[in-house]
A and B are shown apart, each in its own frame.
Chain A
Amino acid sequence: MAAGLSDAAGMSDRIERWREAGIIDQATAGRIREYEAEHGRARARQAVGLSIAAIAGLSVGIGLISVAAANWSDIPVAVRLGADLLLGCGLAALIVRLDGDGDDGGTWGREAALVTMYLWVLASIGLVSQTYHLGGLTSSALIVWTLLTAWQMTFVRTRLAAGLWLAGVSVTWWWLLADHAERFPREDVAVGLAAVPLSVLAWVAVSRRVRDRRPEIADAALAWASAGLGLAALVAPNLLYSEASAHELAELWVAVLLGVAALAAMLPAAPRLVMRLGAAAGDPTRATMMLRLVIVETALFLLTLLLPHPSLDWAAALAFVLVCSTLAALASALDDTRAFRFAVLLVAARILIAYAELFGSLLGTGLGLIGAGLVAFGLLQFWKRYVSRFEPDREGQS
């Protein structure tokens, strides 16, 4: 619902800007508002319903896994496995039945059943493993799960369910690397390959084929890729705190280069990524430049792991502020008020922490905090200038 309200506020803001710029007249602005008021609420209601359905399916599915994990030895094997298969058949029949039902309830029910069946497969693999005391690697079970459910999960209709599926695929990949790390010539190869889902998800997000056929999956991939890149960007500057010897770092260089390669693979997708992120309402050229800058900064800070260095507290703090500032500029170019505010908040918080962190004496800390306060006031002025663009014109709305 929050997303729906935010969308509505953003739309109202844009309509006002278009009207002020003379792109649309007052009458057209009024008609667009009426249309959005009529249809936006229905869309928001459906989105909330679908999300609740996906969460309900997730809850039932996790419950099934938990019940299977209890390993009920009192129930004969044939009954246990037969009941499990029967449950799977029932879920499949329910999905098929609800698929033809066009109303909201049918769609929500189908979504919940699809998510439940997704997790039922995992629970069943666990149940069979328990029943026959199959050893083996966890990654083998996860691969079977991912393969058996791949086609089925392309039928989901919510970003939440699609995101759950993409998370499942990513976890399978990471577990596979962890289980087979010692098979690589160097174990850090597995660490580096763990970054592959980041670039794969970015390319899934911008794939025209995926977007046309399964927009929910493209949206979910975009959300995961953005979150992954954002997390990597915020973590990378902190690598400057590391105080590793040349010998220790020599064991990491393949992982670092693979991580950088995964980031570099996102660069060509940047223009389409910013369009998917909604840059049409902002400044696509600047957003593309800022996104590329975020990727390059993250890669550069990752590369510092290849050079033995002492713990660089100052540099780590400055690097973090630099990355957050770039993220703020990206959010501004994308016309994303919430992300912009969050990034500016991170910059302010990091500056305050840096003062407390870097000055040991009371005098130093006091002066540092005064300086931080002044910087924060400066940021406030900067914020006001930027954020004023996002605030709706109350007079124009009345």
Chain B
Amino acid sequence: MSRRVRLIAALVIPLVGIGALIVRGELRSTGDRVWRVPVEGYDPRDLLSGQYLRYRYLWAGEAVLCPGGPPDCCLCLSGASAGVAATPQVYSVDCAQSEQTEACDDLVRSAEVRGPERFYIDERYALAAETAMRERAASVELVVTAEGGVAVRELFFDGVPWRETLVPSK
């Protein structure tokens, strides 16, 4: 293999890698069942770390992340409605026990949502988002990935997408 070919191959690898990351991100975000889950700031003293908000989920229902539960623990999300982002009812199950999981609309591995989570914000909206996170009802729209993770699509304040309700700083 000539030096030029090796150089080209070496340069193609990062391009393909970044492309693959984009495709993976797109695939993770697609899904028929969309959930709306309330969230709260993770650290009330400093919600904003860099250009992202730190938050954790407020699961409705048993709302437990398997403390003392089965080692292979999943959150069972139920209550999906077609075409609408639904707030799920949640209880913990053993991921490996099919009789426990068959009634679930989606299964999330508890380790994936133990938090704190991140939501990246445009730097001009950062301070407004931090204030809104503290003073208003926040929620995120997400889909569950095939691997049992979650892909967050959007952040809402009082049910309105953040871009439509926050005012950027000058």
Contact = CB atoms under 8 A, between A and B. Distances in A.
A151 B9 contact: yes
Contact of A125 (B18, B120, B121, B125): B18
Interface in A102-149: 117, 121, 124-125, 128-135, 144, 147-149
B50 A69 contact: yes
Interface stretch (B20-28, B63-71, B88-96, B101-109): B20-28
B19 interface: yes
Interface residues of B, number: 34
Given A99-B4, A133-B120, 5 more contacts: A69-B50, A71-B51, A128-B21, A130-B52, A133-B118
B22 A128 contact: yes
Interface in B25-61: 25-26, 28-29, 50-52
B18 A132 contact: no
A152 B9 CA distance: 9
B17 A117 contact: no
B10 interface: yes
A63 to B, nearest CB: 15
Contact of B11 (A69, A84, A92): A92
Given A71-B123, A72-B122, A151-B10, A85 B19 contact: yes
A92 B50 CA distance: 30
A289 B124 CA distance: 59
B151 A95 contact: no
Contacts of B11: 92, 95-96, 117, 152
B22 A70 contact: no
A73 B122 contact: yes
Nearest to B155: A133
B15 A99 contact: no
Interface of A: 69-74, 81, 84-85, 88-89, 92, 95-96, 99-100, 117, 121, 124-125, 128-135, 144, 147-149, 151-152, 154-155
B86 to A, nearest CB: 20
Contacts of B19: 85
A129 B10 CA distance: 23
B82 interface: no
A132 B14 contact: no
Given A69-B50, A81-B22, A134-B25, A89 B120 contact: no
A152 B10 contact: yes
5 contacts: A70-B51, A71-B121, A128-B22, A130-B120, A133-B118
A154 B10 CA distance: 9
A99 B7 contact: yes
Contact of A85 (B18, B125, B152): B18
Contact of B7 (A96, A128, A132): A96
A152 B123 contact: no
Contacts of A88: 14-15, 18
Contacts of A129: 120
Nearest to B126: A71
Given A132-B25, A132-B151, A148 B17 contact: yes
B117 A135 contact: yes
Contact of A144 (B4, B21, B25, B52): B21
Nearest to A130: B120
Nearest to B3: A99
B119 A133 contact: yes
Contact of A132 (B17, B28, B123): B28
B1 interface: no
Given A133-B119, A152-B11, A152-B14, A73 B21 contact: no
A96 B11 CA distance: 9
Ranked 7 nearest A-B pairs via Cβ:
A132-B25, A130-B120, A73-B122, A151-B10, A92-B11, A148-B17, A133-B152
Contacts of B153: 133
A170 B123 CA distance: 30
B105 to A, nearest CB: 22
A121 B50 contact: no
Given A85-B18, A99-B4, A124-B18, A70 B123 contact: yes
Q: Which of B7, B19, B119, B151 has the most CB of A within 10 A?
A: B7
A117 B14 contact: yes
Nearest to B149: A135
A147 to B, nearest CB: 8
A134 B26 CA distance: 11
A130 B123 CA distance: 12
Contacts of B152: 133
Nearest to A129: B120
A148 B51 contact: no
